[in-house]
Structure 1
């Protein structure tokens, strides 16, 4: 099924276009590291001829424990994201957790991302929609894929049809997630481009007690499967040294493993979309 095209800077989602990569660290740890990751991703995606949207959170408001690292905060974080947007000519996306953040975030971000836990928060969805920015809604781990039509309708009722929907796994018992690939097909029936968040789909929420665990060894397999279904974008959290990352390290990918994985994935994408 073809879905509507959504243009974000020099990147186009949907309409049978080539796969877009949304990638970056889970959270902004410090400026120099974030800039190095952005530079690496920009060079890699330019080499491969695919669109890149850089992602990183300025504040992770939904960490497992009170002592977990949350990021530099909105002001400093948005400054860093603006620098990346300017220096590397890439669109940027980050989470908004509260209506009070939206105005400042919309000044910098190309895409406003609604976290999965907040995907039913009507006022947050409406406020994000009214900025006129593209809104990426992550499907709650507690929601069925057909429930996301309600989130889309809320945003469209506010006069905005620039909506991306992201699958990031569904709760499966305690501290575990599972991916139903039918979800990708169901959500595309809304006419919205669909993103598969492969790295959060292998997360083990709260599985390490005071933090989440993860199984990054399965990211490649799930990514290939999702691309074979016909998604519009792939979402990966990446890091120079995932084992030392301050957030979501167990489910993040190392930079040096991205190139061979993307070569395989892009071959599948081309075949599925009739470009092989």
Structure 2
């Protein structure tokens, strides 16, 4: 019993430590400049939405949010399609050298994005895609992690289901869409959250490939706020809250499936 109480206290303390920065960000975004100069408090003395009005009224932040949403959704959808189809091939369609190809594919996960920035930029420039949405999107179309995650989930689906469907006249496309995909739902939900989060928080590649303010993504716009609103912490924190809320909503919606997917469960 004492051990259980101690573990509970540790978990609660850990949760408080993790949640406090987000709470402080929200409180700061609702505090006026006068309130910020007063004694710090978790309850704003004069709460106001003025920082959000300033953010969306005097900066192109609405356009920036739409840019990030569009790119994140497109990246997520493309990664789901490419990862699911590649994972099915590695899991269900044997061919010579499959293990070697899969190992090489996974080895690309070890290469940091900083190493690829220059060759990627040269390639995008040759294609005329610098300062375009497509230039931001193309490097994230495929995901080695997504293929690995979905392949592991598909390997846990019994092969007897494939054999039964084959006896009924089903081909690979029907087995893939009607049998395998529904049974790896938790893994798909996990990849959805990870893909959206990766695109939403991406900073280095958009910084290199984009030039105009109209095409900026949210991380770039947040970095720009530091120069424009250096001392207006409420406006900067309002931008941070706007960047956090979509990810928080997506995770809370898919939390159950993410836990199942990470645990490696592919069958309900």
Give the structure-1-normalised TM-score: 0.23
Q: Pick the structure with more strand per residue.
A: 1
Higher relative contact order (CA 8 A, sep 6+): 2
